[in-house]
Structure 1
Amino acid sequence: MLTATLPETELDPLSAVIHPDPYPYYRELATRRPFFRDERLGLWVAAGPREVAAVLAHPDCRVRPPAQPVPPALAGTAAGDLFGRLIRMNDGAAHAPLKQILMPMLAAIDPAAAAGRAGAMATVIDAGAASGTPGERANRWLFTLPVVTVADLLGMPVAEGDKAAEIAQRVAAFAAAQSPLADAHTVRAGAEAAQWLGTWLAGATPTDGPLPALHQAAHAVGIDAQAVAANTIGLLVQACEATAALAGNTLLRLGRGTPDVALQAVVTRVAQDDPPVQNTRRFLAADAQLCGHAVKAGDAVLVLLAAASCAGLADGERTWTFGHGRHACPGERLAQALAAATVAALLARGADPAALARAFRYRPSLNARIPHFL
């Protein structure tokens, strides 16, 4: 059962995210309208691979509107303060030193080791994840195991009592508050979660892992501890919705039938064919010529990663859902390993993908394709 559906006549670049099959529409855009202005949405839209790459590489295309570094709903809250320090939500030289430390650290995490740690963390969260319907259990695992595994890999003490589940819940709350669809209650919960996560991290003593070296390297180049803490939390956020979506879409693929291939290969295929992050946005910091069009400072561009993915990979290098250019996610292999480990943990605990695929909807979202099992 699909409850998050739209009639084909109402499909547009934003509603496509939760449509049951947006890919014919994406392919048509990528082929016939690779870069255009959608006046109803008030956005430029990049859909072709060449155009998507051009937007993501353009120096005047920023991840936030220059005059709005923090979403207005979060401004003045703990969530806004944390958001404003995230290097993935900022451009410019001020954030480059921390990025140069964080990116290699994340890329150096071995996916096979991460999958092994996920197996160990699965036993930690077992007790709190066994209740509810099969759909509720699946949803809980999707949003818990990847987050707590990344926390564990970084050296955070997450295997204490029921701390793992609470950490995952707080990370999900902060992530949800960043959505343009968030209501006042969700924003308040996100602000409380940001405050809780900051306090927890400040009082946590890393058990092992790269966090001590990260703090030392950051201190050596004058990066303040708050920026390090915010971006440590940011790594957990990046492991939250996108990895849950990838694992959830993999369950759907398995439930609809798939050739007898290794689970990791299925995850890799899903990242290409039914990607977790369908789009991202860029904001013009100056007037520019972009993909043959004159664009103005303040204009927004909706970058349809899923449409570019339909049309093929850039130079055969990576799936579009993990981005491209200076804000590309270095954790592609890690995310796929964690998604596979999450699905494997569910299967080992009796999850039935075919039954899950018969009763689900997509969570309301403007950019992530996240199944919610009923």
Structure 2
Amino acid sequence: MLPATVSDADDAIDPLSAVTHPDPYPYYRELAMHRPFFRDQRLGLWVAAGAQEVAAVLSHPECRVRPPAQPVPPALAGTPAGDLFGRLIRMNDGAAHAPLKGLLMPLLAAIDPSAAAHRAAALAALLAAGTAMSAERVNGFLFTLPVVTLADLLGLPVAVDRDMAVAVAGHVAAFATAQSPLADTNAVQAGAGAAQWLAIWLADALPPAPASGPLPLLHQAAHAAGIDAQAVSANIIGLLVQACEATAALAGNTLLQLGRGTVPAGTVPEELAAQVAVSDPPVQNTRRFLAADARLCGHDVKAGDAVLVLLAAASCIGMADGKRPWTFGDGRHTCPGDRLAQALAGATVRALLARGADPAALARAFRYRPSLNARIPHFC
């Protein structure tokens, strides 16, 4: 077993740069097997890489999804994006958010992945009407089709015309980008504007009560439970955000796998997307923050310490339960839309292939978007 502390003299690749490294998986595998939990002094983070250690951190009661003293990223604080972010249940811990979570999870679970894939095929025709599949169009498609499909399945009027569908997806992407620690001032300002636009659009898009459909029923159940309507609306937008970058990454990495010519003949896009969620996962890591001193994975950690949880490293040596890819998390903040995300990614790849996208050509000219946690190819 190697020491629990990694010095500045280690290899150039580190747990954060690995996200966009051409091939980080030998490095991840070495960490998972030999450094399952350690302190990276240069990054100022604890790092969990082994499957057991990842599970332990994600289930520990003192490991929170946000720093207790910083519920909203400082760059977003005081903006519409910060107000929206602060209401997201996936960015909060504690009993106060449990009632809404108890309503949202069944809502997602009720969406049949096969029906979602079928609907994505229909919406792809709207989005791609009369356009050639250049690399730029492929990039746009990756970020648009999954978001538009989920919005449509929830009953939101995105299929009115192509312009509306693209506008909704674009604002969702802008809000998602603003949440990144790498976001510059312009990106944060764009995210604030996008959050405001989405809130107004959603208020106008919801039919007046009484009405049927997933979202009116959600609002009715939330009202009966005493849940703030703004929290409900924020988390509807949050669902669209979850369908944005991570699903775009999964679909893009699936295209790369096809382009490298290593996929067995007869493998369908949906099946391949499920495999890529393990072998080249879209979300490579997540973070947890200690709310109190604790003993974690055999080490004393202090209140305020941060733990970088390497989901991709855990994937190198196994999945959480033999079925769910680690990229969708574990514990209290497990993503409830794992099967839906894989179905939407597969359907997006299928739609692109049907419209002439060439995975081999795409794989010859791409880079990874700058990110500290998501592995998202950008085709050139």
TMscore range, shorter length: over 0.9
Paired residues of 1:119 and 1:341 also in contact (CA < 8 A): yes
Correspondence 1:221-240 to 2 at 5 A: 221-240=225-244
- Counterpart for residue 270 of structure 1: 276
Aligned AA for 2:226?
G
Aligned AA for 1:240?
C
Where in structure 1 do 4 or more consecutive aligned residues deviate above 4 Å? Answer: none
Given the alignment of the two structures, is residue 360 of structure 1 paired with residue 361 of structure 2, yes or no?
no
Paired residues of 1:248 and 1:370 also in contact (CA < 8 A): yes
Given the alignment of the two structures, is residue 193 of structure 1 paired with residue 223 of structure 2, yes or no?
no
SS of aligned partner of 2:38: strand
Count of aligned pairs between the two proteins: 365
- Counterpart for residue 139 of structure 1: 139
Paired residues of 2:206 and 2:216 also in contact (CA < 8 A): no
- Counterpart for residue 248 of structure 1: 252
Alignment partners' CA distance in 2, 1:315 and 1:147: 28
SS of aligned partner of 1:361: strand
- Counterpart for residue 3 of structure 2: none
- Counterpart for residue 334 of structure 1: 340
Aligned AA for 2:310?
L
Given the alignment of the two structures, is residue 211 of structure 1 paired with residue 215 of structure 2, yes or no?
yes
CA deviation string 1:332-355 (max 9, x = no partner) = 100000000100110010000000
Alignment partners' CA distance in 2, 1:205 and 1:94: 25
Alignment partners' CA distance in 1, 2:283 and 2:277: 9
Alignment partners' CA distance in 2, 1:118 and 1:317: 25
Aligned AA for 1:179?
S
With normalisation by structure 1, the TM-score equals 0.96
Paired residues of 2:155 and 2:214 also in contact (CA < 8 A): yes
SS of aligned partner of 2:46: strand
Structure 1 residue 317 displacement after superposition: 3.2
| RMSD, aligned CA | 1.2
Aligned AA for 2:268?
A
Structure 1 residue 19 displacement after superposition: 0.3
Structure 1 residue 314 displacement after superposition: 2.2
Correspondence 1:1-374 to 2 at 5 A: 9-127=11-129, 130=131, 134-161=134-161, 162-206=163-207, 209-257=213-261, 258-260=263-265, 261-374=267-380
Alignment partners' CA distance in 2, 1:219 and 1:27: 48
Structure 1 residue 134 displacement after superposition: 1.4
Alignment partners' CA distance in 2, 1:12 and 1:208: 50
Structure 1 residue 229 displacement after superposition: 0.3
Paired residues of 1:153 and 1:209 also in contact (CA < 8 A): no
Alignment partners' CA distance in 1, 2:323 and 2:260: 28
Alignment partners' CA distance in 1, 2:212 and 2:118: 16
SS of aligned partner of 2:120: helix
SS of aligned partner of 1:271: helix
SS of aligned partner of 2:284: coil
Aligned AA for 1:141?
F
Alignment partners' CA distance in 2, 1:78 and 1:311: 41
Paired residues of 2:271 and 2:346 also in contact (CA < 8 A): no
Unaligned stretches of 5+ in structure 2? 1-9
Paired residues of 2:206 and 2:215 also in contact (CA < 8 A): no
SS of aligned partner of 2:287: strand
Unaligned stretches of 5+ in structure 1? 1-7
Structure 1 residue 208 displacement after superposition: 6.3
User: In percent, how many aligned pairs have the same letter?
Assistant: 77
